[in-house]
Chain A
Amino acid sequence: MAKRVLVVDDEMDLRTFISTVLESSGYKAVVAENGEQGMAKVREKKPDMITLDVMMPKESGIKMYRDIKTNPEYQSIPVLIISGLAKKTFLHSQRVLDRFKNQVVPEPDGYIEKPPEPEELIGEIRRILG
């Protein structure tokens, strides 16, 4: 059965783009517009992988990432961050939150800075899903 990838991004064009890349490569795409919707889809659809935007209204990717990685049920789901934010900035924000909350959250499984190149995107997804 095709592996299921959850695409979380507030921009409709990005969701369409990433979903099309995924479906052209034989994956099944599920979409969500923000962190809140994303968590609902994680519970409902049990995806094999998540691509996650960071700066989104309502609930950001930073929070959703931590919610996944600190939940024993979901922490094994690999996450590929696709964001306009530099990787360094994202990792820094996570380390600050680690200290603040006294948690250790692992680095994401992959990181792509926007705009994503289709080849890079599919390469990363294949690498992560094995």
Chain B
Amino acid sequence: MNPSCQSNFDRLLLIDDEPGIRRMMSLDLSADGYQVRTAADGQSGLLAFGAERPDIVLTDLKMPGMDGIEVLRRIKAQSPETEVIVITGHGDLELAIQSLQLGASDFITKPVSEAALSVALKRAKEHLRLKSELRAHTQDLEQRVAEVTAKVLASERLAAVGQSVSALVHSVKNILSGLKGGNYLVRQGLKTDKRHIIQQGLEMLERNVNRVSSLCYDLLSFGKPRQPELCPVDLREICADAVEYMWPEAEAREVDLDLTERPQALVCQVDRKAILDAVLNLVSNAIDAAAMVNGGQVRLTVEEGEEHFALAVSDNGPGLDEEALRKVFQGFYSSKGAAGTGLGLMVCQKIAQEHGGRVELDNRPGEGATFRLMVPRCARPPAAQVKAKEIWD
């Protein structure tokens, strides 16, 4: 940051081709406490400006070579914040007006009166002080907006969990019933010496213990606020990884899991692990859906849009019915009964939002469904994430 931001704005550059005026004015100004640097023409004035970045520039308008108007134009182009006071000859009113139009903060006429100079400088310093305060306030405001946004996001997350508490309780009661049931079956099987009942009971226990673990995992990853660790990733690699991880599951369920090849890399700034988690979730759902039909198929494709890349997971399962469609992105809804925690898609949605993206669903009843995890082609600031959420809601 320019050190002058905290200073008294007393660093001056004086550009004038007359040595006498330079000497006189710099003496006066130094006596008033300004740090003065001088230049004898426009060209060297600009060089000094670039090197020193003074707070205020005083420039004569009529100079051989580059005139004061051009000096003013170039300084304002480089640094619109800098205060430029022009010095005009007597009767150069037109030039003075032109310089004001070009952004000069003031003009004084030759011969320069000490009083006029002092007023012009005071005004320039006041401008600088106000601009600097405004900048500080704006930064402070931005900081506050970011803080409040973070708080709102956190409370929204809590609210989402809160609203779902009754649904969560319902889910836990069902798991508990499964555990009690399994326990009962094992005891009953032992009492009556019926092996198949013991077996049934053990399976029930196992299933419900697994439900508890998945529920905990999903709740933790949903409740945890996290900043994605962005790094450039070729999205095709994520798809390939997902296929590799999910292939055994697909094979076991007799579902054909396939990847649409793309010749060129599609690189984008994402949190690799989080996006992979989300894609695995979508693929796992798609396999569940595809396993419901004969010749089940799941296909992963990276799509390239103008603003987004999409990781598309399509299945040829039954598609979503009206109820599922309504509730699919709400917590704790699962069309899979005991098999799902009902949080998977919420987690995917959260990951997408953390990237400034979203999850879209293309439902084709009776023919299948495509879930698209959309991530922006360029990483976006948190403000854009809030917007993405609003659009989603």
Interface positions of A (Cβ within 8 A of B): 10-14, 16-18, 20-21, 24, 55, 57-58, 84-85, 113-118
Q: Which of B178, B181, B188, B208 has the most CB of A within 10 A?
A: B181
CA distance A34 to B173 in the complex (A): 18
Q: B181 to chain A: closest CB distance in Å?
A: 3
B182 within 8 A of A: yes
Query: Known contacts A13-B338, A55-B170; is A21 also within 8 Å of B177 by CB?
Result: no
Closest residue of A by beta carbon distance from B333: A57
Q: Is the CB of A17 within 8 A of B174?
A: no
In the bound complex, residues from chain B placing their C-beta under 8 Å from that of A85 are 170
Q: Is the CB of B338 within 8 A of A24?
A: no
CA distance A85 to B323 in the complex (A): 20
Top 7 A-B residue pairs of the complex, sorted by shortest distance between their CB atoms: A17-B181, A13-B178, A84-B173, A115-B177, A115-B176, A114-B173, A84-B170
CA distance A12 to B179 in the complex (A): 12
CA distance A16 to B200 in the complex (A): 9
B180 within 8 A of A: yes
Closest residue of B by beta carbon distance from A85: B170
* CB-defined A-B contacts under 8 Å, sample of 19: A10-B337, A11-B174, A11-B337, A13-B177, A13-B204, A13-B208, A13-B338, A14-B178, A16-B181, A17-B177, A20-B185, A20-B197, A84-B170, A85-B170, A114-B176, A116-B177, A116-B180, A117-B180, A118-B180
Instruction: Write the B174-195 contact mask toward A (1 if CB under 8 angstroms, else 0).
Output: 1011111110110010001000
Closest residue of B by beta carbon distance from A121: B184
Q: Is the CB of B174 within 8 A of A14?
A: yes
CA distance A11 to B330 in the complex (A): 20
Q: Is the CB of A115 within 8 A of B169?
A: no
Q: Is the CB of A11 within 8 A of B169?
A: no
Query: Which of B177, B192, B323 is close to A114, meaning CB atoms less than 8 Å apart?
Result: B177
CA distance A61 to B320 in the complex (A): 22
Query: Which of B176, B188, B337 is close to A20, meaning CB atoms less than 8 Å apart?
Result: B188
CA distance A115 to B335 in the complex (A): 21
CA distance A114 to B179 in the complex (A): 12
Q: A25 to chain B: closest CB distance in Å?
A: 10
B272 within 8 A of A: no
Q: Is the CB of B181 within 8 A of A13?
A: yes
CA distance A12 to B170 in the complex (A): 15
CA distance A37 to B170 in the complex (A): 22
Query: Which of B173, B180, B323 is close to A17, meaning CB atoms less than 8 Å apart?
Result: B180
Q: Is the CB of A11 within 8 A of B200?
A: no
Q: Which of A11, A21, A55, A85 has the most CB of B within 10 A?
A: A11
Q: A123 to chain B: closest CB distance in Å?
A: 14
Q: Is the CB of A20 within 8 A of B169?
A: no
Given contact pairs A18-B181, A20-B188, A57-B335, a sample of 16 additional A-B residue pairs in the complex whose CB atoms are under 8 Å apart: A11-B177, A13-B177, A14-B181, A16-B181, A17-B177, A17-B204, A21-B184, A58-B323, A84-B170, A113-B173, A114-B173, A114-B176, A114-B177, A115-B177, A115-B179, A116-B177
CA distance A113 to B167 in the complex (A): 15
Q: B133 to chain A: closest CB distance in Å?
A: 58
CA distance A11 to B181 in the complex (A): 11
In the bound complex, residues from chain A placing their C-beta under 8 Å from that of B76 are none
Q: Is the CB of B192 within 8 A of A24?
A: yes
B364 within 8 A of A: no
In the bound complex, residues from chain B placing their C-beta under 8 Å from that of A113 are 173
B207 within 8 A of A: yes
In the bound complex, residues from chain B placing their C-beta under 8 Å from that of A16 are 181, 185, 200, 204
CA distance A113 to B170 in the complex (A): 11
Closest residue of B by beta carbon distance from A10: B337
CA distance A11 to B182 in the complex (A): 13
Q: Is the CB of A12 within 8 A of B338?
A: yes
CA distance A118 to B185 in the complex (A): 10
Q: Is the CB of B176 within 8 A of A118?
A: no
Q: Is the CB of B184 within 8 A of A11?
A: no
In the bound complex, residues from chain A placing their C-beta under 8 Å from that of B208 are 13
In the bound complex, residues from chain A placing their C-beta under 8 Å from that of B204 are 13, 16-17
